[in-house]
Amino acid sequence: MSNSSINISNYSPASLKDKNQLINKVSVSSSRTADTWYTLLSKSIEVQASSSGKVEVNISIGVCPAGNDLFIRLLRDGSQISAFTAASPSARTTATQGIARPNTSTFQQMQTLYYVDTGLSAGTYTYAIQILADVTTTVPINRHTTEAATTARNVAIIDLAEL
């Protein structure tokens, strides 16, 4: 290997102990027939810290609300993270983040989410992102509702990193 192929002096590794990523290229339309959340991404990570472990969760998705309001929620091992869940919503539905409808139905919206999960013991944790519309409707994922040569298909990404 020649020196010209790598510049070691500029290499600055972060303190990441582990890092997992899942890219979902599947484009689907998920029909909501009840209050059923659709799992968009699910990925596991092994936390090495014996206590007070931290996992950074970064999400990027693209959806086309098409006249409806969408919501996403972040799960750890199948449940919403208690410290990161809305308080006392009564009959309302708890979510992590809203994706409001755009002014035009053909507009596709990219959405990001950043969160650091804390207080974790050593072990393997599975994080999932689910999506739901506010009314019974079809939720396009990684695609537009009405597809054409002028619309696009994109990807959804979940990045997990132990800090």
112: left (phi over 0), alpha (psi -120 to 50) or beta: beta
Q: Which residue has 């410290």 as its token pair?
A: 83
Site string for another protein, 71-110 (x = CB under 8 A): xx----------xxxxx-xxxxxxxxxxxxx---------
Which of 4, 33, 114, 148 touches another protein by CB under 8 A? Answer: 114
| Dist CA 42 CA 11 (whole Å) | 31
Residue with tokens 């990045």: 159
User: Per CB under 8 A, does 8 bind another protein?
Assistant: yes
Least Cβ distance, residue 28 to another protein (angstroms):
22
Judged by beta carbon, residue 135 or residue 148, the one nearer another protein is 135
| Choice from 36, 44, 50, 112 touching another protein (CB under 8 A) | 112
Q: By CB under 8 A, tell whether 23 contacts another protein.
A: no
If binding is defined by CB under 8 A, does position 13 make contact with another protein?
Answer: yes
C-alpha–C-alpha distance, residues 151 and 156, integer Å: 16
Considering the complex, what minimum distance in angstroms separates the CB of residue 46 from another protein? 18
Integer-rounded Cα Rg, in Å, for the chain is 18
3-state DSSP call for residue 10? helix
CA angle 125, 76, 88 (to 5 degrees): 155
Token couple for 151: 């619309």
Query: Does 123 contact another protein by CB under 8 A?
Result: no
| Nearest CB to another protein, comparing residues 38 and 84 | 84
List of residues contacting another protein (CB under 8 A): 8-9, 11-15, 35, 54, 69, 71-72, 83-87, 89-101, 111-116, 118, 134-135, 163
